[in-house]
Each structure stands twice: as structure tokens, then as C-alpha cells.
Structure 1
Amino acid sequence: MSDDYSEASYGARPVGWGRKPAVLVVDFQVAFTRPEYPLGRSEHIHEAVEKTSELLKIARKCGVPVASCYTAYHSQRDIPYWKIDAVHDHFYYGHPSTAMDERIAEPDYDYIFCKSAPSIFFQTPVTTFLAKQGVDTVVLTGCTTSGCVRASAIDSFSYGYRTIVAEDCSGDIEEGPHRDNLRDIGRRYVDVMPSAEVVKAFEDYRKRND
């Protein structure tokens, strides 16, 4: 963090953990995780998928709720004005690219749903799911950091959740925008930490509830 931001008091207060966490997984559909698709060729995202898979296994063992989303549309009539050809070419209901990556999704445990905008919160039922589970702390993972993860982090903050971003469980097309955006939202809205720290918090949560 630069001295100017520090002197202006950015990042001075941690968000911290509340009573009950949940993991939200943003867009780890195969369009982003398999190299046969134009958006699926980022090694940075591939690494984040592996880390997220490990984190989710522990979250489920600890009884932490998990919700995962994918992005899809009916037709060009309802698709937003994305400036990304791959979205217009592939992101439609039933297209193979919209399937959740099998390393991520556990349908018998996870809540899996479709979104239509960058944020996992925008006009989706996820807030109802979180309210039913009594969640006050959201751990964000997924892709891309500079796009849908950042949008989700801002909405999570705006809805009043304590928001954590697991740094190594979020990925982008390039590492530079990943780091830049995490640094910026970490100054303002969220706590950014490695997944190892998130794991410790999940294990502490399980001990409190055993």
C-alpha cells in the first residue's frame, strides 16, 4: 500500500470474521478452466481452480455453506453488452462451456445457480440462501479477479457481509490485474488473505460448533 493511501487511512481497519462463513465460487465453469475455450487458457486461473478445490473440500468437512455460480444467457436478446466475443459465442443455456468444473462442484452439497451479470449477487437468489444459512461472512473465490470477483466483492460489501477474498483461490487472465484489483479492494472493502488462513478460520468455526 502506498504512503498516500496509508496517510489517507485506507486499509486502516480489518474486516475480520463474523459468526458463520460461507464460500461463494464465481464462474469456475469450464469456459474459464479448460483450454479448448478462448477464456480457459490462463495458467493463473488454472492454479486458482486447484487451490479452490482444496479449500472447498475443507469447507464442506467443516460444515461451511458453499454456493457456486456460472454465467449463461437465453439468446442475444437478453445478453448484456459484453465486449468479449467468447461470451457472445458460447455463454448460452445448455452450451458445454457453462458446465461447472468437476473439481469445484459438489451438487449433493453445494448450491449451484446461474447469474447473468458480473456480480454473483445481481438479481440472483444467493442472498436468500445466505440468509437461510445464517451467514454473515462471505469468502469469495473464482474468476476473473478484475471482473466478476471484484464486482461480487463490492456487492457483498454493499449488502453488509464481512467479505474475505482468498487470494490464491481467485484468478485472472493476467497476474498484474489480479494483484492490482486485490490491492485496491483490500484498501476499501475486503480482507485479502491466503487460503491457508481461510482454512484455519473454517477449522476454528467447526471447533466452535462441534
Structure 2
Amino acid sequence: MDDFEDHCWQDVYSADVLELYRPYRRPLYVGPRPAVLLIDLYQLAYAGGPKPISDVSKMFPSSCGIAAWNALPPTQKLLAAARRAQLPIFYTTGCVPKSKGAMAATQRGGRRPDESDFVIQPDVAPEEGDVIITKERASAFFGTLLATNLTRLGIQSLIVAGETTSGCVRASVVDAYSSGFHVTVVEECCFDRSELSHKVNLFDMHHKYADVLKIEAVLAHLAKA
């Protein structure tokens, strides 16, 4: 197994499938003039506490259960390193739909959220100078000023973390790539309700739209910044 495929999806894809994707292999890196983009690390994703998703999903269908909590320590490391390197840090969060029939970021049932659900989790809370982008759809770019803010700051690359890997992270990564940004996705700092969806979507992004790197590789890069 070479370094390009040395990731969490190894137990999902056979050697034959990996061989089909050999043409996508390339050098992996954190791009120039990066900013950090933390997607939807709000209270709703952590609702019910650090428990198996099967234990919390009925009462909290938007929770990612233990996967969300497991991603906190590496995300804290990423944030600390980014702050030391003085990188711009952007957070996204959601909002309460304006009306009962209004479209939300995803087509999910369950109780109607309130404003407190969209407060960023305290363990990875924004600090003064960080930018919080409120979005109504899956992508951090759709209907927001994110691209404008990034361009104004001269940002050329994004380091992405958050949730869900298969939903808002992927949508944002595709839009970032389509907008001309080099994208690095930090493997341990992303999470999903489904472990399989998490692995499959990281695989897809890695081979098409982003460089998926492990947290230690990203930290090593930021230490040199």
C-alpha cells in the first residue's frame, strides 16, 4: 500500500479498484496561502453526547454521535496549529428555517431546531478575528459571501474539517475546487453518521477534488509556515 492510498478506506476498496484509480495519484500537499474552513461544528452535531449513533439518532437525528466527539481532539490540534501560523479561520453554521416549509440544508426529519442548536461546540469555539458564515444549504459557498471573503484576503487554498463528510463537507469541497481553490481535507477532523459514507466520500474527494491528508502531515506543514 503506497502513501497515496494509506487512509481509512483501505478496508472498503479492493486492490483491483485501487488500481483503476492509479491515474489519479499525484503529490499531496497543503496549498499556498491557506485558510482553515471548519464546517458545521455546531451543537446539533454533538447532541446526545459521546455515544454510539444508534443510541442517539432517534431523539437527535442530526447528531453524529461518538464520531463527532472522536474528531474533537484532532480538530483542536488543527485549530491550535492554525492560530500559531496566523491562518485565517472560517466557520460555517446553519440557521433556523424561516418558515415550516422552507428548505433546509438537507432533507431530514425530526424536531425543528432552534438557534441554540447552531452555536459552535465550545471545545472548538471561534475566537476574536475568526469569521462565521451562516448558510442555508449544504455548501459553504452557496448563497454566502465565503468566496468573496477568501478572495479579498488573497486566499488560494483551504484546509477543510467538519461534518458531515458525505454532505456539507463534500458539497463545500466540490464548490471550493470548482472555484479554483486547492483543497486539503484533514481525515481525522471530518466525521459522518455512517462510517461507510465517511470512508467512501473521503475516497471520492481524494481522487477527484482534494488532497486528503492525515492530521500529523497537516500539523507538520503548519509548523513550517
Counterpart amino acid of 1:40?
S
Structure 1 unaligned runs (5+)? 206-210
Matched residues in 1 for 2:21 and 2:42: separation? 39
Partner of 2:69: 46
Matched residues in 2 for 1:64 and 1:81: separation? 28
Q: 1:64 aligns with which of 55, 80, 87?
A: 87
Q: 1:30 aligns with which of 34, 43, 48?
A: 43
Classify 1:24/1:34 alpha carbon distance in 2 versus 1 (closer, same or farther; 3 Å): same
Partner of 2:146: 126
42-51 vs 7-16, greater mean Cα deviation: 7-16
Q: Is the 8 A contact 1:64 1:202 kept in 2?
A: no
1-10 vs 77-86, greater mean Cα deviation: 1-10
Counterpart amino acid of 2:91?
S
Matched residues in 2 for 1:12 and 1:176: separation? 22
Partner of 2:99: 75
Q: TM-score, normalised by structure 1?
A: 0.87
Partner of 2:32: 19
The count of residues paired between Structure 1 and Structure 2 equals 201
Matched residues in 1 for 2:145 and 2:181: separation? 15
Partner of 1:107: 127
Matched residues in 2 for 1:121 and 1:84: separation? 21
Classify 1:15/1:162 alpha carbon distance in 2 versus 1 (closer, same or farther; 3 Å): farther
What is the CA-CA distance between 1:81 and the residue it aligns to? 7.9
Matched residues in 1 for 2:109 and 2:127: separation? 30
Matched residues in 1 for 2:63 and 2:170: separation? 19
Secondary structure of 2:71's aligned partner: helix
Counterpart amino acid of 1:47?
N
Q: TM-score, normalised by structure 2?
A: 0.81
Q: 1:135 aligns with which of 136, 152, 155?
A: 155
Counterpart amino acid of 1:138?
L
Matched residues in 2 for 1:190 and 1:128: separation? 21
Pairwise CA RMSD of aligned residues? 2.0
Identity over aligned pairs, percent: 27
What is the CA-CA distance between 1:39 and the residue it aligns to? 2.3
Matched residues in 1 for 2:167 and 2:136: separation? 13
User: Are 1:194 and 2:207 matched, yes or no?
Assistant: no
Matched residues in 1 for 2:71 and 2:211: separation? 18
Structure 2 unaligned runs (5+)? 1-12, 50-59
Matched residues in 1 for 2:150 and 2:48: separation? 33
Note the alpha carbon deviations across 1:6-42, whole angstroms, 9 max, x for none: 4465422345333211110110000002317432252
